[in-house]
Amino acid sequence: MALQLYSHPYAAYGQKASVALYELGLPFELRLVDANDEASMAAFREVSPFGKMPVLVDGERRLVESSIAIEYLDGLAGGGRLIPADPDAALEARLIDRIVDIYIGGPMNRIIPRKFRPAGNEDPYGDAQDEAVLASGWDWLEDRLSDGRTWGAGETFTLADCCAAPILTYARRLVPFGDRPLLKAWHRRLMARPSFVRALEDAAPFGDLMPAPPARDD
């Protein structure tokens, strides 16, 4: 039975998983999570304990949390690619994945829903706090990239890059990269990676759903 991915092509964490699937050349069926379609939401709720995308289903097996799904997929494809075989390199890939998820994706996923709140419920203090967390994430990544690595965790494309490609692309629209040349150069490489180009093509028919202006600091 084919792998199934419960997701929406515009969702950052869904793209993280589809980038991994495309990198590994693993075919999958998209189970579209469509907030406007009750049947799709009922099917999604059955597999997603916290109502979060993506969920990967492989036969009887259900994998929530994008990083865990990617570890599983890497093993399914033979291992040693998105999670490097070398233990130190694997630790670095997991570290960058965690930092991007927690200090970039975290504040991003708090700022965005606040933008959809009804008038009068704004939280400028919360926004400023989260923007500061995000900026500190940018600083940390800029410093980490200063050893000249090509990809997020070294010379090969890993879990770190699957995570960073979509999350950096959306988060920079909330807090620009600014004067961080290494971060910008890494992001340019991510934008050109065929697996991410494909994920962006999957999302294109849904338009631009991000409640923030396009990034202007290339």
Ligand X SMILES: N[C@@H](CCC(=O)N[C@@H](CS)C(=O)NCC(=O)O)C(=O)O
**Contact residues for ligand X, defined by CB under 6 A:** 11-13, 51-53, 65-67, 109
> Rounded to an integer, what distance in angstroms lies between the CA atom of residue 218 and that of residue 211?
19
- In the bound complex, what is the minimum distance in angstroms from residue 55's beta carbon to ligand X? 8
- In the bound complex, what is the minimum distance in angstroms from residue 114's beta carbon to ligand X? 13
- In the bound complex, what is the minimum distance in angstroms from residue 53's beta carbon to ligand X? 4
> Rounded to an integer, what distance in angstroms lies between the CA atom of residue 188 and that of residue 4?
30
- In the bound complex, what is the minimum distance in angstroms from residue 162's beta carbon to ligand X? 11
Q: Which is nearer to ligand X, 164 or 180 (CB)?
A: 164
Q: Which is nearer to ligand X, 110 or 198 (CB)?
A: 110
Give the closest residue to 21 by CA, choosing from 196, 175, 153, 140: 196
Q: Which is nearer to ligand X, 168 or 180 (CB)?
A: 168
Chain mean position to CA 194: 16
Q: Which is nearer to ligand X, 19 or 142 (CB)?
A: 19
> Rounded to an integer, what distance in angstroms lies between the CA atom of residue 158 and that of residue 82?
4
* Residues 6 or more apart whose Cβ sits within 8 Å of residue 157: 23, 82, 151, 193, 195
- In the bound complex, what is the minimum distance in angstroms from residue 31's beta carbon to ligand X? 13
3 three-class SS:
strand
Using CA of residue 91, residue 147, residue 193, residue 110, what is the dihedral sign?
positive
* Residues 6 or more apart whose Cβ sits within 8 Å of residue 79: 85
Closest residue to ligand X, based on beta-carbon distance: 66
Q: Which is nearer to ligand X, 39 or 85 (CB)?
A: 39
